Structure formats: structure tokens, C-alpha cells
Structure 1
Amino acid sequence: MIQAIQRSIATLFLGLIISFSATAATFTDLFVFGDSLSDTQARITNGLMWPEYLTSDLGMPYDPSHNFAVAGATTDDMLNSQFSAWQSSYSVDPDALYVVWGGANDLFGWYQGGADLNAITGVINNAVSNLVTITSTLQSLGANHVLLLNLPDLGMTPRLNGDPFTSSAATAASTSFNTALAGALFQAGQPAELIDIFGWMRAVKADPTLFGLTDISHSCIADGADPDCTGYL
């Protein structure tokens, strides 16, 4: 995901944060749990990542040691490794912002394992349970500002959009995941603010130029446009 989109995601976050929190300007810190979409160590992009943009927008210093996201992480990794590492080193700061974003690699793993339709419900339920456990635990420990992001439309990704059947299946899996996530979050008492990244990605698809994009279908690296990647999603 290139720099233009990382910038757009941070702007989206900022607008949503301001809309639901009167204390957006007084966050004391940012903690992140997730995968390559948030990992600033591996940095699978051609520039800054959304956590760096967001902290700058909020007038906060960015501390990479507070970003536990790891490229390739599943939600099992997020719960059992990232969140456990955070719990062993930190206590909850009620005024910090906590962002939880994962699940794509759970579905990618399901797809690479043969895309067994009989297994997809179990994969989704496990991933959703992991994410809701993280957010519910944060809330129970005293966190006041927790964001949980749903999945983008994985059918739009270069990895899966080459074949119409595969793309449709990935979109359907993303939709099922997001429906289950919203339902589980509601059942848990809404321990986090749910951010609709899927809907935002559909807005990007409807009019890429609004986001400074010209190619939302192909891989920048595969096309040989790396490291500039201007115009790519």
C-alpha cells in the first residue's frame, strides 16, 4: 500500500477520531496492533505509514516501539504475541489511542490452503474472536479510546483480483468477515469504535482520482514502478 493511501488512511482516521472524540487533541500516546498495513519496521510501502502521519496530525511524537504490528501477522499472532508483549511491558494509559487492525492474513492463509468453503466460517470466527478479545481486554483494563478496523475489500488486491471468480470469492469472504466482526463487537458491548475500511476502499474504487490514484488494480512492484509507485493503490 503506497504512501498516498497511507496518507489518506491517516486523514480518514483523524476525521473519524475528531467526530467521535472531543479529546482527540489530548491523546497521550498511540499503540498499534496489526500486520503489514500498520508495520513501520518492515515498512511495506514507499514512504511513511499511517501511524506516523496520524501522530504528526495529532501533534504527538511517534514512538515505533509502541507499534507492535508485524508484517504477515495473523490475528493469532496479534493476540498471542503482540498483545501479550504489550501486556508484559505496559499498563493501560486511559488517555492513549489504541488501534487494532488485522484479519487479512487469516483469510490469505485460508485461500492459500485451498480455500475450503467448509473451513471459512471457522477461520472468520477465530479471527473475529481474537480481535474482539484484544479490544474487550483493553476496555476492561481502562482504555477509553480504542479503534478497531474492519477488512478492506481483499478482492481488490493484486494478489486476488486477476481472476473474476477469485476476486468475487475474496470480496465475499471480506464481507462475511466484516459482518461477523460488527456482530461480535456489538455482542461484546461495543468495546471499540469500528472503522469501515471496506466502505472507504469502495469509495476509492468508485473514484480513484479523488485519492490521487490512477491504478488500483495492479502491483506497483510487479509493474516495475517501485520505488516511486506514484498513482498506485
Structure 2
Amino acid sequence: MPESISKTLRRLALAAGLALPAAASAGYSQIYVLGDSLSDVGNIEAAYAPIVAANGGVPLPILAAPGTPSAYAPNRASNGPIWIDAFAGAFGFTSVASLNGGTNYAFGGARTDNQLYNPVIPDFLGLLQQRDALLAARPALDPDALYVVWGGANNLQDILTGRPRADGTPQSVGQTVADLGLIIDSLAAAGASHFLVPNAPNIGLVPRLRERGQAAVAFGTLLTDALNDGLATLIDSRRQAGLDILDFDTAGFLAEVVANPASYGLSNVTERCYTGDDLNFNGSGSICADPARYLFWDGIHPTATGHALLAQAMLQHIPEPAETGLLLAGLAAAACNSRRIRQKPRQSLC
């Protein structure tokens, strides 16, 4: 695709929040988010603020002490805005961390149940604990709001590395799916009617696993497929029970971008732009010359460009209210003229 079209697509994705708010807000009254670092807009920093103050800064770039250079954008596990910034903006909202008074409950590093992984730090919330925090703040949920439930990828990393749960038992794909189902059911019982439940990105395609060799890539892909197959079955069952659930094939989208990088204005979809340590966060490493052409910022998180493309794909997947049809027409036409983002069928493990 010509570079001019690629730039146009990126501008459209980033500008969605400016183009749509007045009309799109008619679709949902608010957007609530449960998730991990792909969606965290500041909770991890807010939770650790007392530790930072007491210890003069902790060795996390996203938690760097004032005046300390960081490779990461403030409150984001990337080099700029993340998908939920553009996505919420398209509906007239600003995604604000729940610990800062907002409706985004996502925490970087979250598993589906963090109490079984890190019970020592009670403020470090997994998706089940995020659900509890949401219901404690709002026991009767708004039926006109959209509830995003997106997690499980960190559980898969724990399975891959053999990290056990706090009770000593191994993590499993089945328990991860069950946790997500429990979250959806709990929110629905409290009044939630509209859900967006993306599946997990293929962790076998991220630089961190590529760097560990083909066996890690294959196992990561196998785990992702198993989780996503289970989640698809879960979503189908909840739809049959009457819930309004939108899914999104994150794994298929990622595979499409990796297979056709030039069509999305990218030149590198396999390596990390920021080479620093994203496990111990010691601040070392360097930054690539052109981050906007990279899909991955570090070993596992997308760049701001990757997030913008993800937001664009999700917005195309949402059935828009009638009032927004004309406003979305330009975005949809541009996407169709390039390479329409496709929902690829999953391959069964059986």
C-alpha cells in the first residue's frame, strides 16, 4: 500500500476521538475496562505511588521518579497512547484509571486472579479483583455502558515459564477461561448488558518469545489457541443465554499485521524497538530510530502505532449507532481500500 495511504490510516485511527464523540456517545453511556498492561492507563503507577515516595523510585520505567528519563510514556506500557485512549475517545470519553477516579480498572501485569499470584501486594489487582473493585464502587451497574473484559495473556506467560499459583498449584488454560466467565457472569448479574471481550494476542508472535527460540514460539501459539478456543465457546454460551457480547479476534488481527506489515505502514513486526530489560526494568537499552515503523515497543507490548492500528480495528468491529454512520464512512472506506482487517478462523487443537 502506498505510504500516503498508510499515513492516512494512522491519522484516522488516532483522530477517531476527535471525529466521533458527539454522535458516538449516543451508543454507550460509559466504558468500563477490566484488563492488564495493554489497557492500563495509570493504575499501576497510582498503586505504587506510596512505594515510589518512600523509596525514592522503584526500578520500573513506567514508575520512574520525577526527573528520571523513561523510555515509556507516562502511565502507559508503550511509547505513547494505547488502544483504549483512541477507542474511548471515539465514543466521547477519556479513559481514566479507577484509582484516579475513572472507569478503567486495568492493572499492568494483571492475571485473571492476582491473589493467587501475588497476595503480598493487595493493591495489585487481577481481573477478578478489578471486578470486585468495580462492584464495590457501583453495586448496580449501568445497563447502557460498555464493559471491556480483556485478559489471560499473562496467565499464558506463567504457564509457559512454569510459574505456579500462590497456592502451589499450576496455572491452567481451563481455569483462565473459567475466571473470565465468572467475571462476565458477575457483571451481568449486577446489571451489565453490553460487553466487549477480545481474545488473547498470540504470545508466540511477541519478541520476548521469538528471542527464546522456535520451541517457545510454538508452545506460546499452542497455549494462545487453546485459550482463545475456550473463550470462543464461553462467549457463544453466554450469547445463547441472552447476553450482548462483542468479541474481537486480537490473535487474527496480530497475525494479519505480522503477515502483511507494509500494508499497515510497518517495517519491523518481529523485533522490539526498545531493547531495555522489560522484566527487571533496569533502565538499560536503546530505542530504535523510527518507533512508528515498529509493531512492538518492548518484548511484549505494542508501540503507539500498533495500539492505534488495534484501536482502528476494534472500532471497525463495533456496530455503530445510526448517527455515526457518515462519520465512520471515511475510516471504513480507507480500510477497505488498503487491506480490510479480517477475522481469521481459529484452528482447533483437536
User: When the two structures are superposed, what TM-score results if normalisation uses the length of structure 2?
Assistant: 0.56
Is 2:206 the partner of 1:173?
Answer: no
Assess if the C-alpha contact under 8 Å between 1:155 and 1:170 holds in 2.
yes
Q: Deviations over 1:152-201 (max 9, x none)?
A: 11110011012111101111110011011111222344542221111111
CA drift at 1:24: 6.8
CA drift at 1:216: 1.1
Assess if the C-alpha contact under 8 Å between 2:128 and 2:183 holds in 1.
no
Look up the equivalent residue of 1:174 and give its one-letter code. Answer: T
Assess if the C-alpha contact under 8 Å between 1:92 and 1:143 holds in 2.
yes
Gap change, CA 1:24 and 1:130, over 3 Å in 2: farther
Aligned residue for 1:126?
175
Larger Rg: 2
The DSSP-based 3-state class of the residue aligned with 1:216 is strand
Gap change, CA 1:60 and 1:27, over 3 Å in 2: same
C-alpha separation between the residues in 2 aligned to 1:57 and 1:202?
25
Which residue, 134, 146, 149 being the options, matches 1:97? Answer: 146
Assess if the C-alpha contact under 8 Å between 2:25 and 2:92 holds in 1.
no
Unaligned runs of 5+ in 2: 1-5, 17-23, 43-74, 115-125, 276-284, 296-350
User: When the two structures are superposed, what TM-score results if normalisation uses the length of structure 1?
Assistant: 0.82
Alignment of 1:87-166 (within 5 A): 87-90=135-138, 91-113=140-162, 123-162=172-211, 163-166=213-216
The DSSP-based 3-state class of the residue aligned with 1:75 is coil
Q: Deviations over 1:199-219 (max 9, x none)?
A: 111111111122222111111
Aligned residue for 1:38?
39
Assess if the C-alpha contact under 8 Å between 1:135 and 1:148 holds in 2.
no
Look up the equivalent residue of 1:131 and give its one-letter code. Answer: L
CA drift at 1:141: 2.4
Aligned residue for 1:232?
294
Q: How many residues align?
A: 214
Which residue, 171, 187, 196 being the options, matches 2:237? Answer: 187
Gap change, CA 1:43 and 1:86, over 3 Å in 2: same
C-alpha separation between the residues in 2 aligned to 1:82 and 1:114?
22
Aligned residue for 2:347?
none
Aligned residue for 1:56?
89
Is 2:254 the partner of 1:204?
Answer: no
C-alpha separation between the residues in 2 aligned to 1:114 and 1:141?
33
Assess if the C-alpha contact under 8 Å between 2:160 and 2:219 holds in 1.
no
Unaligned runs of 5+ in 1: 15-22
CA drift at 1:108: 0.6
